[in-house]
Amino acid sequence: MRRMTERLRQGGVFVWFSGTLLAFCLAMILCLVGFIAAKGMGYFWPSPLVQVQTPEGPVLGEITGQEPARGEETAKTQFRVGNRDIYGQDFRWLPTASLATPKCPKDALLIERLEYGPFIGRIVSLSHEGHLVATGPAAMSGALDRLPETNRVRRHIQSIEKGQVGDLNRRIERIRLARRKLETRGDIAALQALDTRTAQLQTTYDQVQTSLEQSRAEAKAWTLGLQTVDGQDKELPLGSVVRIVPANAMGLLDKLGVYLSRLWEFVADDPRESNTEGGIFPAIFGTVMMVLVMSVLVVPLGVITALYLREYARQGWLVRAVRVAVNNLAGVPSIVFGVFGLGFFVYGLGGSIDQLFFADSLPTPTYGTGGILWASLTLALLTVPVVVVATEEALGAVARSQREASLAMGATKWQTLWNVVIPSSTPGILTGLILAIARGAGEVAPLMLTGVVKLAPSMPLDGTFPFLHLDRKFMHLGFHIYDVGFQSPNSEAAKPMVFMASFLLLVVVVVLNLFALNLRRKLRARLGGSTF
Amino acid sequence: MPSTPSHQAHAKRIDRLMAFTISSGGLLIIGAVLAMLLFILKESLPLFIPPQSKALGTLQAPRSGGAWLDESGKTVVLLSRSEGLKALRASDGTPLPVPTDGPARPWRTFTALNARGESLVIGADGRLFLTRMSWSKPAGENDPAKWTLEPHWQGSLPMAKTPDEILHFRIIEGGGLGGASSLRVIARTREGLEWSETRLDGAMAPTWRPLPVAPFLHPSAAAWSLDGRDLFVGTREGRLLDLDPETGNVLSSSEFEEPIQSLGFALGQSSLLVGGAKGKLGAFQRVRVNDVFQLQAFHTFARLDGAVLGFQASQRDKRFLAWTDREAVVDHLTTERRMFSARLEGPGIAALAPRGDLILHANEATGALRLWSLDAPHPEVSFGLLWGKTHYEGYEKPEYVWQSTGGTDDFEPKFSLVPLLFGTLKGTLYAMLFAFPLAVLGALYTSQFATPRLKNAIKPTIEIMAALPSVVLGFLAGLVMAPLLEKMAVEIFVYPFMVLLLAIVIAPFWSRLPLPFRNAFGSGREVLWMVPVLLVGVWLAALAGPWFERVAMGGSYRTWLQTALGVTYDQRNCLVVGFAMGFAVIPIIFTISEDALSSVPKSLTSASLACGASPWQTAWRVVLPTASPGIFSATMVGLGRAIGETMIVLMATGNTPIMDWSPFNGMRTLSANIAVEIPEAPLHGTLYRVLFLAAFLLFILTFILNTVAELVRQRLRRRYESI
């Protein structure tokens, strides 16, 4: 007994206890990152299509989940049966016990299409403009042969719709605005000139539309006759097929091919089906653009503040005030920045800019509504302390001898800073910038108030003058996660997309952080000692 | 480069310029923080600007017994027994055309115009008419300012008997007889109180039906409820009755303590305004208490000078006008605040414009019309309403409620910040309960016991944890953890005990191992040994959970919670938030604490160890107390983060603004509330400003926490330097 109390007093147990808590923390992090990686990366791998017999009929689909028996509940298996247009739901829970021996029929297919999620079933026939061309296995191989061509036509249509048509629409809109201004002034000659321009544009527009119609008819010419496992027929134009995956008949290499092509689609394509399918390219692009604009704003501000604090300010209440300010900027909740951004930048600055420069298009706001510029400005304010702290540390690390050498040579203070101090503290500034970018990329709350949207019709950077459109709304990876995961009508089907987007965001943020931390460690090794 | 004097001068100029630029740039940061603070404050301050009123002038008009102001405040409508209906321009008193049909003059009796501009009139020939106001809209004109007001007459029903005074009438749209609008009138006749129901199209002859009231009560005012099924009657004895007109039964009654002079309704027609003969002013409502509808006094207002003669409600918010012979006031129902008060020169009739921004008084004796303007952009908010309990319409008792928007126009907005602050504190508390021990003990372990190699692996891992975007944490908490916790609540509850059990089982074996082995592989590497134990613990918990649930909780923990503790379990609850937010807070507390703990001077620990203290004793009794200010400051910064965290709370709670400490329900925090509501809040509206006030509150809270943390940290730094 005495030995026990003595042991307790010595506290070896408590060391173990605190070690356990730490182990728990570390395990949590690793589990979390591993879980997201597994869920996100695994989704694109073609999983086998399993056919089972149930009392209500056969069911064909991917197995997506298992639930063990518990209390009164029996064990259940979740099938992704697809065919939302036929069944009305993507997923079905079946009692595991009632499932007879599962089969993996070789001719079962998963067809990714533009609408209603995937089709799961078989190809029965292939027809061209209503004439039957092939049936059975021949139909499938025919469809696979035709698919690249129809996909090419579809891309062509999309690019025309987005590029030429959008461009024409914008030009017509601009003329309409110019007209409105001229009408108030009553300049008849100019008005007529505008009218002829409009007419010209209209003809071009009509021509584009005709060629579009042709392409669309072409895309619709080939149709697939499909059949679900329980014998329901479905016609599907080949033009709306994205990918045909005969998951059970594929080798490892084929599967890898599908995996990579899906991954590419995810990274490089536009979203479909209210963001639950397709890619997230606009979100990636929007995030990158926003972060870039933010960097342009945050670096000068942060570096100048750090220079002031380290090099120019005389120690006193003012410096203390600046430090308190910087510290508080770092600690103030991001939503408060959002509120400030909304009130000051969007409604205040944006509203004034609209009244001064874009009065013609009022009451439709140009800058007086959320946009990428305001979002970036808000985030720049939010991330300034990160840059300040990192830059200060780097400035402090520059050897005294170097400065003194420069000053002794007769260089002014600014020359010393510019030619000696700043170059050797570039890694520190870079660290700060990378950390700021990582923070900015992961922040969502302030963006929700200052310009993020779930689906942006056009990018903030494109081929129309003036190329960089800082007034446009944009999509963002983090907001995409929130929106698709929580605001989507079909959130169960959208979950894999959310996992994938989370994984991507996580990778970006973690890689940036590791990079910055590494840089900082090297810098600190040069400086030596702790920074507390 | 040759160093010529001009070159030097140039360099000096540049130097001065840059010094100026950089200094002003540094000050810009203070400017930015101050600008943020002041801007947010500036946007919320108009909430507290007291209402401004201004006398607009006096017009001369025919003497009248009824007055009404139109929506835009351009037109005044007056009623008088001898002259009938008159309309005039409010700016200069120019008469405007009025319909020439209508009741024959002189009128036998009429009611004052109500807020919608309706009045019942019985003409010289004993026929009943209703005035209604409509707008004549020029073709294609969408600007209401250019529309013209057109009063018109409806009805012409022959009345068998002319009452002495019509007390109140209500038009029941559609819900009355045969789907058409019906009219219910309560009046005083020679026989006492009588009421009738009729149709304005004349399809039903009005007949008077007596309303029996106890003989010892003397009714002085009456008003129909919104659906016309109840009749409220005020008596000279100071009793307020809720009667069923069909049977005359008293459904409920209440005491007013003063002879009742007049009755009226606030917007929405559910709050009954009661005015006393000696100036008492109160509001009553029919509310369900213990499943029975009762009349309940739920607001009292400052007394008036003299008997309260009438009411008129604004059609935009819950403000109303009340007047006596000597003064007219505008009060707000919800906040009980007096927004306007003016002395009158004599008895007369007062009116409030539907927007509530203009007040009119028509002097009975002289015919003088006086006008006042009232500017009160946010009357529905007061300091007491934001921070105190308020008795809202339809509520049994005063409560803290946040409900900013409702389905109808006559909705009473409820802007109490208390439930939101409560939600913020609750979420923060659970997050800190989870994060604080893990982070501080983890930091203590890392700084004092871990081997250097392990330390170099742990610290970056925790820093990565700090970088995890909160939207990812929120998504995991909301869509993965919450369903998992719902399914496996018992397993997760059992888990720590299983780990403890496992440790107790293993410990004797470990202590039997030879000391050199333990020293070489155990000390400083406890973390690594515990990882498999934790994993086996998961497996054990998965086995023991269902068993425990069956044996101790009767098969279902939800039923058990419900019956044994009386709490319900929501899927997105505080445990999930606490866990996910704890995840975000742990790295912050860990990093700052770890810095403070490792910076404790070596001399102190060496002295302690040299005196024979064990490493744990040294860590617990020497290192921890010395670094406690650092840990305190870490906790403050962590608190600041938890208070302001938005995305996790937004995604992992149900965002219901309830006040309940139970860890199994959700809440709504200040930050999530801003994120949810500000995109829909109209610019410079009340909600917009209240949300800015919430942001200001968050700013101040975190400002205090961060400043305290920074000051404490600076003191600690000086202390370390002095040791």
Residues of B in contact with A449 (CB under 8 A): 675, 678-679
Helix (H, G, I), strand (E, B) or coil at B262: strand
Please report which confidence band the pLDDT of residue A64 belongs to, taking 50, 70 and 90 as the band edges: confident
Helix (H, G, I), strand (E, B) or coil at B16: helix
Contacts 24+ apart (CB under 8 A), A203-210: A204/A168, A205/A165, A205/A168, A205/A172, A208/A160, A208/A164, A208/A165, A208/A168, A209/A165
pLDDT at A532: 42
User: Is some CB atom of chain B closer than 8 A to the CB atom of A97?
Assistant: no
Cα–Cα distance between A439 and B470 in angstroms, integer?
10
pLDDT at A530: 41
Q: Which residue of B has its CA nearest to A532?
A: B595
**Is A529's pLDDT higher than 50?**
no
A30 or A463, which is more confident: A30
- Does residue B705 belong to any structural domain of this protein? yes
Give the nearest partner residue to A25 out of B23, B438, B475, using CB atoms: B438
Q: What is the DSSP letter of B208?
A: -
Give the nearest partner residue to A325 out of B29, B40, B637, using CB atoms: B29
Interface touch B469/A506, C-beta < 8 Å: yes
**Cβ of B485: how many Cβ atoms within 10 Å?**
21
Interface touch A532/B617, C-beta < 8 Å: no
User: Is some CB atom of chain B closer than 8 A to the CB atom of A38?
Assistant: no
User: Is some CB atom of chain A closer than 8 A to the CB atom of B235?
Assistant: no
pLDDT at B445: 92
User: Is some CB atom of chain B closer than 8 A to the CB atom of A344?
Assistant: yes
User: Is some CB atom of chain B closer than 8 A to the CB atom of A184?
Assistant: no
Those of residues 122-181 in B touching chain A at CB distance below 8 A are: none
Is ipTM over 0.95?
no
Closest CA to B652 of A6, A59, A485, A198: A485
Interface touch A324/B471, C-beta < 8 Å: no
**How much helix, strand and coil, in percent to the nearest 5, is found in chain A?**
65, 15, 20
Cα–Cα distance between A263 and B30 in angstroms, integer?
46
Please report which confidence band the pLDDT of residue A71 belongs to, taking 50, 70 and 90 as the band edges: low
Q: What range defines the domain where residue B663 resides? A: 432-510+522-720
Distance from CA of B446 to the nearest CA of A (A): 8
Helix (H, G, I), strand (E, B) or coil at B397: coil
**Is A4's pLDDT higher than 80?**
no
Distance from CA of A247 to the nearest CA of B (A): 28
Give one word for B174, left, alpha or beta, with left for phi > 0 and alpha for psi -120 to 50. left
Helices (H) and strands (E) in chain B, counts: 16, 30
Residues of B in contact with A410 (CB under 8 A): 3
Closest CA to B537 of A509, A430, A461, A20: A20
Q: What is the DSSP letter of B213?
A: -
Cα–Cα distance between A282 and A270 in angstroms, integer?
6
Name the strand (E) or helix (H) holding B85. Answer: strand B84-89
Q: Cα dihedral sign for B558, B560, B561, B563?
A: positive
- The CATH number for B629's domain is 1.10.3720.10
Residues of A in contact with B36 (CB under 8 A): 332, 336-337, 340, 344, 381
Cα–Cα distance between A165 and A144 in angstroms, integer?
31
Whole-number mean pLDDT of chain B?
A: 87
Interface touch B33/A481, C-beta < 8 Å: no
pLDDT at A318: 80
Which range is least confidently modeled, A333-347, B565-579, B666-680?
Answer: B565-579
- Does residue B466 belong to any structural domain of this protein? yes
Tell me the per-residue pLDDT of B504-515, one tens digit each, with 9 for 90 and over.
Answer: 888 888 878 887
- Does residue B1 belong to any structural domain of this protein? no
pLDDT at B175: 56
Q: Which of A461-470, B4-13, B146-155, B668-677 has the highest mean pLDDT?
A: B668-677
Give the nearest partner residue to B471 out of A12, A442, A532, using CB atoms: A442
Distance from CA of B136 to the nearest CA of A (A): 27
Distance from CA of B703 to the nearest CA of A (A): 6
**Cβ of B637: how many Cβ atoms within 10 Å?**
25
B432 or B511, which is more confident: B432
Proportion of chain B above pLDDT 70, given as a percent: 98
Mean pLDDT in residue range A395-419: 88
Residues of A in contact with B476 (CB under 8 A): 32, 35-36, 502
Tell me the per-residue pLDDT of A241-269, one tens digit each, with 9 for 90 and over.
Answer: 888 888 888 888 988 999 999 889 888 88
Proportion of chain B above pLDDT 90, given as a percent: 28
Cα–Cα distance between B488 and A431 in angstroms, integer?
42
Interface touch A20/B503, C-beta < 8 Å: yes
Residues of A in contact with B445 (CB under 8 A): 15, 18-19, 21-22
Tell me the per-residue pLDDT of A204-254, one tens digit each, with 9 for 90 and over.
Answer: 888 888 888 888 887 778 888 888 888 888 888 888 888 888 888 888 898
CA distances from B368 to B64, B67, B226 (A): 10, 12, 34
Please report which confidence band the pLDDT of residue A1 belongs to, taking 50, 70 and 90 as the band edges: low
Tell me the per-residue pLDDT of A20-52, one tens digit each, with 9 for 90 and over.
Answer: 899 998 988 888 889 998 888 888 888 888 888
Interface touch A532/B499, C-beta < 8 Å: no
Cα–Cα distance between A460 and A513 in angstroms, integer?
26
Interface touch B11/A342, C-beta < 8 Å: no
Distance from CA of A118 to the nearest CA of B (A): 23
pLDDT at A209: 85
**Is B44's pLDDT higher than 50?**
yes
Q: Which residue of B has its CA nearest to A413?
A: B15
Residues of A in contact with B18 (CB under 8 A): 414, 417
**How much helix, strand and coil, in percent to the nearest 5, is found in chain B?**
45, 25, 35
**Mutant choice from B499, B504, B509, B616 vs A, greatest count of A C-beta within 10 A:** B616
Interface touch B717/A532, C-beta < 8 Å: yes
Domain boundaries, chain A: 50-121, 124-265, 281-527
Return the structure tokens found at A498.
């959310």
User: Is some CB atom of chain B closer than 8 A to the CB atom of A11?
Assistant: yes
Q: Cα dihedral sign for A231, A233, A236, A238?
A: positive
**Is A352's pLDDT higher than 90?**
no
Tell me the per-residue pLDDT of A124-167, one tens digit each, with 9 for 90 and over.
Answer: 888 888 788 888 888 888 888 888 888 888 888 888 877 777 77
User: Is some CB atom of chain B closer than 8 A to the CB atom of A93?
Assistant: no
**Is A296's pLDDT higher than 60?**
yes
Q: Which residue of B has its CA nearest to A416?
A: B15
**Mutant choice from B487, B647, B706, B708 vs A, greatest count of A C-beta within 10 A:** B647
Those of residues 67-126 in B touching chain A at CB distance below 8 A are: none
Interface touch B32/A448, C-beta < 8 Å: no
Tell me the per-residue pLDDT of A115-126, one tens digit each, with 9 for 90 and over.
Answer: 888 888 888 888
- Which homologous superfamily is A281-527 in? MetI-like (1.10.3720.10)
Interface touch A442/B469, C-beta < 8 Å: yes
Residues of B in contact with A510 (CB under 8 A): 464, 467-468
Distance from CA of A10 to the nearest CA of B (A): 6
**Is B3's pLDDT higher than 60?**
no
Return the structure tokens found at A95.
């009692």
Proportion of chain A above pLDDT 90, given as a percent: 13
Cα–Cα distance between B297 and B311 in angstroms, integer?
17
**Is A528's pLDDT higher than 60?**
no
Which range is least confidently modeled, A143-152, A337-346, A446-455?
Answer: A143-152
Tell me the per-residue pLDDT of B528-545, one tens digit each, with 9 for 90 and over.
Answer: 888 888 888 888 888 888
Mean pLDDT in residue range B466-475: 90
pLDDT at B145: 67
Please report which confidence band the pLDDT of residue B276 belongs to, taking 50, 70 and 90 as the band edges: very high
Are the C-beta atoms of residues B655 and B666 closer than 8 Å to each other?
yes
How many Cβ pairs closer than 8 A exist between chain A and B?
Answer: 322
Mean pLDDT in residue range B421-435: 93
Cα–Cα distance between A170 and B358 in angstroms, integer?
47
Return the structure tokens found at A475.
């999509």
Residues of B in contact with A15 (CB under 8 A): 445, 449, 526, 615-616, 619
User: Is some CB atom of chain B closer than 8 A to the CB atom of A324?
Assistant: yes
**Is B686's pLDDT higher than 60?**
yes
pLDDT at A531: 44
Interface touch B476/A32, C-beta < 8 Å: yes
Those of residues 410-439 in B touching chain A at CB distance below 8 A are: 437-439
Please name every residue paired with B414 in a beta bridge, in sequence order, or none if there are none.
B403
Mean pLDDT in residue range B361-378: 88
Please report which confidence band the pLDDT of residue B696 belongs to, taking 50, 70 and 90 as the band edges: very high
Interface touch B25/A11, C-beta < 8 Å: no
Distance from CA of A243 to the nearest CA of B (A): 29
Please report which confidence band the pLDDT of residue A336 belongs to, taking 50, 70 and 90 as the band edges: very high
Q: Which residue of B has its CA nearest to A444?
A: B471
Interface touch A482/B702, C-beta < 8 Å: no
Q: What is the DSSP letter of A474?
A: B
Whole-number mean pLDDT of chain A?
A: 84
Q: How many CA atoms lie within 13 A of A330 on its CB side?
A: 21
Cα–Cα distance between B320 and B303 in angstroms, integer?
15
Q: Total domain count for chain B?
A: 1
Return the structure tokens found at A450.
């200052």
